[in-house]
Amino acid sequence: MENREIPYKIYLSEKELPDSWYNVRADMKVKPAPLLNPGTHRPMTAQELSQVFCEDLVAQELDNETRYIRIPGEIRDFYKMYRPSPLVRAYCLEKKLGTPAKIYYKFEGNNTSGSHKLNSAIAQAYYAKKQGLKGVTTETGAGQWGTALSMACAYLGLDCKVFMVKCSYEQKPFRREVMRTYGASVTPSPSETTEIGRRILQEHPGTTGSLGCAISEAVEVATHTDGYRYVLGSVLNQVLLHQSVIGLEAKKAMDLYGVKPDIIIGCAGGGSNLGGLISPFMGEKLRGEQDYRFIAVEPASCPSLTRGKFAYDFCDTGMVTPLQKMYTLGSSFIPSANHAGGLRYHGMSSIVSQLYHDGYMEAVSVEQTSVFAAAEEFARVEGILPAPESSHAIRVAIDEALKCRETGEEKTILFGLTGTGYFDMVAYEKYNNGEMSDHIPTDAELAAGFAGIPRFEGNEF
Amino acid sequence: MENREIPYKIYLSEKELPDSWYNVRADMKVKPAPLLNPGTHRPMTAQELSQVFCEDLVAQELDNETRYIRIPGEIRDFYKMYRPSPLVRAYCLEKKLGTPAKIYYKFEGNNTSGSHKLNSAIAQAYYAKKQGLKGVTTETGAGQWGTALSMACAYLGLDCKVFMVKCSYEQKPFRREVMRTYGASVTPSPSETTEIGRRILQEHPGTTGSLGCAISEAVEVATHTDGYRYVLGSVLNQVLLHQSVIGLEAKKAMDLYGVKPDIIIGCAGGGSNLGGLISPFMGEKLRGEQDYRFIAVEPASCPSLTRGKFAYDFCDTGMVTPLQKMYTLGSSFIPSANHAGGLRYHGMSSIVSQLYHDGYMEAVSVEQTSVFAAAEEFARVEGILPAPESSHAIRVAIDEALKCRETGEEKTILFGLTGTGYFDMVAYEKYNNGEMSDHIPTDAELAAGFAGIPRFEGNEF
C-alpha cells in the first residue's frame, strides 16, 4: 500500500467528510470526572448546566457512552466551505532536515479564522440557533476562537458578543477588526461592563487580562441576558467531540494510502486541537487494536500538564464556573506577559488530562525562542507561516525527525498544524529582532496560581 | 454533464496540475507591441533586456509564438505546496443573493503570500537561480508580491531585496515582518539608498511613494549590483504567462463538470491575475471556438483601462525602464492617498491592453466603498475574508448575479478571488467605522500623469 505515490497534499472529497463525530469517552475505561457545582461539590445536573450552555451541547457534554454522534447536515454544509482540510506530506521539510522520518501534518489554517476553532464554533452556533436563542457570548485570547465564532454567527444570523483579553485586544487590532467585519461586538477584558470585570479591575488595576477573566465576564453576560448562552472554544468535552473531525479526516486520509503514524503530536492549550487530532487513533489504542505514541506539547511558560496538579479547579479566574477535574496551574495563574501567542490557559481538557494521567500519552514543554526558530525553519521550506501555538508541535516534530536522522529509523510522524500566524507578526517581529526571551515560572509563581481554590474530599493537591 | 453534483470546492489532483503554461500571445492576431528602448525608440533586443532580467525570462518575454511553454519540474514541485488551488462554487453567496446565476471563483489566497503572486514569483526566482545569480530585487505595494518573492527566494536560497512603497511599509508593518521572516531585506521607497530615490525625495519631499518609484529603485540596484537581476510581479508578458496556470486549472476543473462560464471577471491592477485567469478561455475566443464575456474591473481612483490612454509609457516613475505600449494614466500619476489596497499601478499589461483595444474584453471601474460592501457581504456567507483588490471582482460578480435575479437568466459567472485580506485590516477598519470615502480623479489630475512622457511617431496621446 505504502508504494502508492503519496501526493504533497491529500484532500478527501466532500463525500468523504465524516458524517459523525467520534466521542473518545465511549472507549475510555476511566471516564473524565464530572463537572462539580462549586457550592455543593456535587456533579452538575443537565438542568444546572442549561443555565449557561445550550441544551444539545449540555447533552453532548454529559454523554460518556455514545461512540458516534451524527453531524447535522447544516453543519456539514458549513464544513464544506473549508473542509475536508488537507493532510500534507512535508516532503520539503524532510529534505531540509535530511531525515528518514516521514512527516505529515493536518493543516487546519485554510479558513479565515486561521485555525481549527471553526470546527466547534459552527457546531455551537448551530445548536444555539436551533434552540431559538438570540445570541452567544464568549471569550477570546489570541483571537482565533472569537473570529471563528463571529464567522459562524454571521453565517447563521446570530448575535455574537466577544470578550477579548485586553493585551490581545491592544496588540492585535486587526483580529478585532476581522471580528467586527463579521458583525461581532468586541469588548476588551477585564471591562467595566460586567460586575466581575469591575471587581477584577479594582483588585488588579492595570491588569492586561487573561482568558480566565474573559470567561468570567462572558459567562456573566450570558446568564444575565435573555436569549443568550455562553460558548467556549476549548477544554470542554463537547469541543473535543466537534474537533474529532480533524482526527477522523486525518486517519481516513492516511488509511487511503496505508500509512500508520508512529508518533502523533499536538500543541496543547486547552486541549481541543490535540484531543480532536488524536481521538480516533486514541480510540484504537484504548480498544487495544493499535499502538501509537502521543505527545502533547505545551509552553514552558504555561506548563499545565508537565508541572500542574490533577485536581478540581475553576475554568475561570472569577471562580464563577463549575469545577472541572483537570491538570491545572490554578485558576489564579496568569502566564508571564513575555509569553507570545496563545496556549496561555491555566487548565487542560478533562479528557486529555485523564488520558495523560492514565499513561496513554506523554507531555513535553518547550521554550518559545526554540518554538519560533522551528516556525521560521518550517515556513521557509513548507511555505505556510504557522501560528505560534501550532509551532509548538512543529518544534517537537522536528526534534523527533532529527532523532530519526541519528538512529536511521524511518518513523512516521503526524502533527497538527492548527493555524496560521498572519495575526501574530508582533511576536514574529520580536523574534526577528532578537528581542524574544523565555520565561520558566518558578515553583513559587506556580504555587500562587492555587490561591483560593477550594479543597475538599477527592481534591488532593 | 451539468447534472453531476458539483461540490463546494473542486480540487484537481496534483497529477492534473498543468505541465505547461499557455501563452495567449500565440493566438493573438495583433500581438502586443514590443518594448522600446527609451533612448532610441527602437524595440529592445534580448541583449538589452538581459541587463535587467534573467535570460530565460527575457526569452519568455519576447516569445509571441510558442503556444505552450513547459513548466520545469522544480517549479511544479513548488506549485504542489499550494496548488492546484480550489475552484469554489459559491453556493452560499448564490443563496444569499437569491439569484439563479451560478457563481464560481478560483481562489488563489490559500498560501502565505495570500495571493496568486506566488505563481510567478517561484518561476522568476527559479530562472534567476538557474542562471547562477546571487539574488533579485523587486518592488512591492500592498506587499503580496514582495511576500511571494521572499517565499520563493527562501525556498531556493536566493537573496531578496524588496523596495516597499513607503505608505504600505508604514501602514502594513506585519507584511514587512512576514517578508523578513522569509529572510528578505525590506526598504521603504523612496529611500536614500539609491540615486533615483534621493532624487525623488528631493523633488517630492514627504511623498508616500508609489509602485512606479519603487520599481525605479529596484531596477537601479539590480543593474548596479553584481549577480543581481530585477523581477516584476505583474504587467510583463512573462508574468501573464506564469499566471496562466490559474486559468488552465479553472478551465480544467470546469471541463470536468461540463460547465462553461458565460462571464469571466477579474480585478485589474497590472493585469497579471486577470490575464492569467482569462488566458485559456481567451484563446478559445481568439481561435473562434467559443465565445465568452470578459470583464476587467479596476478602481475608479486608478482607472487605466477606462480612462487612460493607449500609448507608449514608462513602467516606472523614475523613467528608467523600457517604454511599454499599454493603457496608462501616465507614469507620473499617483493615485489618491485615500485609495485603500492595491490596484494602484498607472499602467496595464500590454497583452490585456491590446485585447481590450481590439474589443475582446470589457472594462468597468468601481468605487471603493461599494467594493468593501461587496467584500463584507461575501465574507459573511462564503467565509473567506477577501483582499480589497479581489473584492473589485466580487463587486461586479455580485452585480451581474443581481441582474440575473431581475431577468431570471441562469448565467454562469466565474471570477478570480486573487487573495485574502488579512493584512488589509486598516482599510477594513476604516470601512467598518464609516470613514471610507471615494475619490474619482478629475480630468486635470489625470492629465498631470503624462508630464514628461515622450511623444514620438506612433505614440498618439
pLDDT digits (tens, 9 = 90+) for A397-451: 999 999 999 999 999 999 999 999 998 998 999 999 999 999 999 999 999 999 8
What pLDDT is attached to residue B1?
41
Q: Residue A257's pLDDT is what?
A: 96
pLDDT band at B433 (very low <50, low <70, confident <90, very high): very high
For chain A, give the mean pLDDT.
Answer: 95
List helix spans (H) across A302-360: 304-307, 350-357
| Model confidence band, residue B461 (pLDDT cutoffs 50, 70, 90) | confident
Summarised one tens digit per residue, pLDDT across range B118-142 is 999 999 999 999 999 999 999 998 8
For B308-422, where are the alpha helices, taking DSSP H only? 350-357, 368-382, 388-407
In A, minimum Cα distance to B83 occurs at: A9
Three-state SS at B266: strand
Q: Report the run of H or E that residue B186 belongs to, with start and end.
A: strand B185-189
User: pLDDT over 70 for what percent of chain A?
Assistant: 99
The 10s digit of each residue's pLDDT in B200-243 is: 999 989 888 888 889 999 999 999 999 999 999 999 999 999 99
| CA nearest neighbour of A382 among A75, A61, A109 | A109
The string over B329-368, giving b where at least 16 C-beta atoms fall within 10 Å of a residue's C-beta and e elsewhere, is bbbbbbbeeebbbbbbbbbbbbbbbbbbbeebbbbbbbbb
By CB atoms closer than 10 A (0-12, 13-18, 19+), residue B423 is buried
For residue B157, give the chain A residue with the closest CA: A380
Compare all CA atoms of chain B with the CA of A79 and give the residue at the minimum distance: B8
Check pLDDT > 90 for residue B176. yes
CA distance A395 to A399: 6
Average pLDDT, stretch A302-316?
95
- Cα distances from A448 to residues A314, A320, A331, A440, B367, in angstroms, run 15, 19, 10, 14, 57
Of A92, A112, A426, the CB nearest to B81: A92
The answer to whether the Cα torsion of B46, B47, B49, B52 is positive or negative is positive
Determine the pLDDT at residue B167: 86
Residue B161 predicted with pLDDT over 80: yes
Amino acid identity, position A350: S
The b/e string for A267-287 (b: 16+ C-beta within 10 A; e otherwise) is bbbbbbbbbbbbbbbbbebbe
Find where cell 518554538 sits.
A371
Nearest chain A alpha carbon to B87: A81
Closest CA to A312 of A298, A327, A297, A301: A327
User: Is ipTM > 0.90 here?
Assistant: yes
Would you state the cell numbers that stand for residue B133, as one nine-digit string? Answer: 545569480
DSSP for A262-310 reads SEEEEE-SSSHHHHHHHHHHHHHHHTTS---EEEEEEETTS-HHHHSEE
The DSSP symbol for A15 reads G
Summarised one tens digit per residue, pLDDT across range A213-266 is 899 999 999 999 999 999 999 999 999 999 999 999 999 999 999 999 999 999
- Checking DSSP bridges between strand A228-230 and strand A135-140, what pairing results, if any? parallel
**A1 pLDDT above the threshold of 50:** no
pLDDT in the model for residue A344: 85
CB contact under 8 A, A178 and B11: no
Q: Radius of gyration of chain A from Cα atoms?
A: 20
SS3 A415: strand
Q: Kind and range of the H or E element at A369?
A: helix A368-382
- Best of A422, A424, A428, A430 to disrupt the B interface (most B CBs within 10 Å) is A422
Our CA dihedral for A86, A91, A93, A98, rounded to 10 degrees, sits at 160
Please work out, in degrees rounded to the nearest 5, the angle formed at the alpha carbon of residue B102 by the alpha carbons of B252 and A150.
100
Measured between beta carbons, the chain B residues lying within 8 angstroms of A111 are: 383-384
d(CA B199, CA A366): 50
Choosing among A78, A385, A428, A430, which should be mutated to test the B contact, i.e. which has the most B CBs within 10 A? A385
Query: Which chain A residues are closer than 8 Å to B174 by Cβ?
Result: 174, 422-423, 425-426
pLDDT of A2: 46
Compute and round to an integer the Cα radius of gyration of chain B: 20
Check residue B102 and give its pLDDT: 98
The string of pLDDT tens digits covering residues B434-457 is: 999 999 999 999 999 998 888 898
Looking at residue B26, the DSSP 8-state letter turns out to be: G
3-state secondary structure string across B308-335: CEEEEEECCCCCCCCEEEEEECCCCCCC
Q: How far is Cα A19 from Cα A416, in angstroms, rounded to an integer? A: 21
Residue A138 has, within 13 A of its CA and on its CB side, a CA count of 29
Task: Look at residue B293 in the predicted model and tell me its pLDDT.
Answer: 98
Contact at CB, A174 and B174, closer than 8 angstroms:
yes
- Cα separation, A57 vs A280, whole angstroms: 21
- Segment B318-346 shows an average pLDDT of 87
How much of chain A, in percent, has pLDDT values that exceed 90? 87
Which residues of B lie closer than 8 Å to A, measured between beta carbons? 7-9, 11, 13-14, 80-82, 92, 110-112, 114, 151, 154-155, 173-174, 177-178, 180-183, 376, 379-385, 420, 422-423, 425-426, 428-429, 432
Residue A16 in this model has a pLDDT that exceeds 90:
yes
Rounded Cα distance between B267 and B298, Å, is 6
Q: Is residue B68 packed enough to be buried (19+ CB in 10 Å), middle (13-18) or exposed (0-12)? A: middle
- Is the Cβ–Cβ distance between B326 and B372 less than 8 Å? no
Give the chain A residue nearest B431 (alpha carbons): A181
Kindly give, in sequence order, each residue whose CB lies less than 8 Å from that of residue B42, ignoring residues fewer than 6 positions away.
B36
Q: What mean pLDDT do residues A354-383 have?
A: 97
Residues shown for chain B: 461
Average pLDDT (B402-423) is 97
Average pLDDT taken over every residue of chain B: 95
Nearest CB neighbour to A7, from listed B8, B14, B154: B14
Please check whether residue A240 is in contact with residue A277, taking contact to mean a CB–CB distance below 8 angstroms. no
Residue A317: per-residue pLDDT: 83
- Among B97-101, B171-175, B383-387, B397-401, whose mean pLDDT is lowest? B171-175
What is the reported pLDDT for A454?
Answer: 87
Question: Which residues are within 8 A (CB) of B385 and not within 5 positions of it... i.e. 6 or more apart?
Answer: A112, A178, A181, B375, B379, B420, B421, B422
Cα A312 to Cα A329: distance, rounded to the nearest angstrom: 11
* pLDDT over threshold 70, residue B3: no
Taking the CA of residue B293 and the nearest CA in chain A, the distance in Å comes to 28
- Percent of chain B predicted with pLDDT > 70: 99
With CB atoms and an 8 Å threshold, state whether A110 touches B114.
no
Can you give the pLDDT at residue B173?
86
Q: How close A314 gets to chain B, by Cα (Å)?
A: 34
In which residue are the cell numbers 490535540 written? Answer: A274
* CA atoms of A38 and A60, how far apart (whole Å): 21
Q: Do A80 and B178 touch (CB under 8 A)?
A: no
A187: its cell numbers: 469588548
